Amino acid sequence: MIFYILRRILYAIPIAFGVSVVCFSLVYIAPGDPLQTVMPPDATAETIEIVKHAYGFDKPIPIQYLIWLGHVLTGNFGMSISTRRPVILEVTDALANTSLLALFAVPLSFSIGYAMGAIAGCFPGRWLDRLVTGTAVVGVSLPNYWLGIVLVVFFAVQLALLPATGMGPSGSTNFHILEWSCAKYLVLPVFTLAMIPIGILARTTRAAVAEVRSQDFVQTLRAKGLSEWAVIRHVLKNSLPQVMAVMGLQFGYLLGGSILVETVFTWPGSGFLLSKAIINRDVPVLQGTILTLSLIFVATNLVVDLLQSLVDPRIRRA
């Protein structure tokens, strides 16, 4: 088991390396200029040269990449061009804010999505299945930024029940999760964010459960005289590895932060940070965020694989 974990961690290294190269190149292929935020539209060529030199952007791109890589290996992600704050602070702050959303969106979407999918899978073709599948399709298809705006208009502007945007009365610094005055800022973004994972999980679970139900061993269980509830328990357990793989991906998605949802709610998370870094071509922040998020994805997949093998020992032997 230990060797299995070590091997998987070693696999993550080339993945992270590949991600960093692709990310670095993408930033330079896209039109635009990483120094735009610090320079007004009228900056002259001479000004740009002096500033480029001061920020190290006058070196050839492969050299810039190697310098960056060298720093990252020693834990230094550099400084944001637009704010001059250390990238590591920018990324951890944003991830902390996004993980607050994920902390609630994950259990909400996983429990509702799984329950809906399991019910639908156990009663395929019945009205309950159609209701659940229909709801799931709506959940997946609604653009979540639109849903977010509609929820804001209804709950914040019309009813004045919940706040429209932001992260508490004084930002993330004094965010107290147990105080309603802060926690109410979570309600709309968490719900908006949970919609897509609910839909995806409901559909995946339904398909997995329906597939397991049609397998021979289920017939055998019934033939042995097990009650329908006991059969369902076996079916659910056997469908779990497949569902967990999708849960892992959705967990990564929620932790990565949604650019659209966080922008609509001005939530200072990793999606919002990423969108600002893209607009400003803030290369160090862009690199740091993408690399961190991709490592989180790799780690999540590793954890999911390990959990799968705990639930289903056949996977470990394979």
Residues 258-297 that bind another protein (CB under 8 A): 263-266, 268, 272-273, 276, 279-281
Asked if 142 is part of the footprint of another protein (rule: CB under 8 A), the reply reads no
| Residue span 73-112 as binding mask against another protein, x where in contact by CB under 8 A, dash where not | ------x--xxxxx-xxx-xx-xx--xx--x---------
Is 124 or 166 the residue whose CB approaches another protein more closely?
Answer: 166
| Binding flag, residue 206, another protein (CB under 8 A) | no
Which residue's CB is nearer to another protein, number 92 or number 135?
A: 92
Structure tokens, 112: 């509702």
Question: Of 287, 258, 266, 254, which Cα lies nearest the Cα of 103?
Answer: 254
3-state class (DSSP) for residue 1? coil
Residues in 26-65 at the binding interface with another protein, rule: CB under 8 A? 30-33, 35-48, 50-51, 54-55
Q: Verify binding: residue 135, another protein, rule CB under 8 A.
A: no
**What value, to the nearest 5°, has the Cα angle with vertex 193 and ends 192 and 199?**
90
As given in the structure block, the two tokens for residue 183 are 């926690």
Considering the complex, what minimum distance in angstroms separates the CB of residue 194 from another protein? 18
Q: How far apart are CA 125 and CA 232, in angstroms?
A: 17
Whole-angstrom CA distances from 162 to 172, 193, 244 are 17, 16, 33
Please state the separation of Cα 183 from the chain's center in Å. Answer: 21
Among residues 182, 210, 243, 244, the one that binds another protein under rule CB under 8 A:
182
To the nearest whole angstrom, how small is the minimum distance from the Cβ of residue 107 to another protein? 14
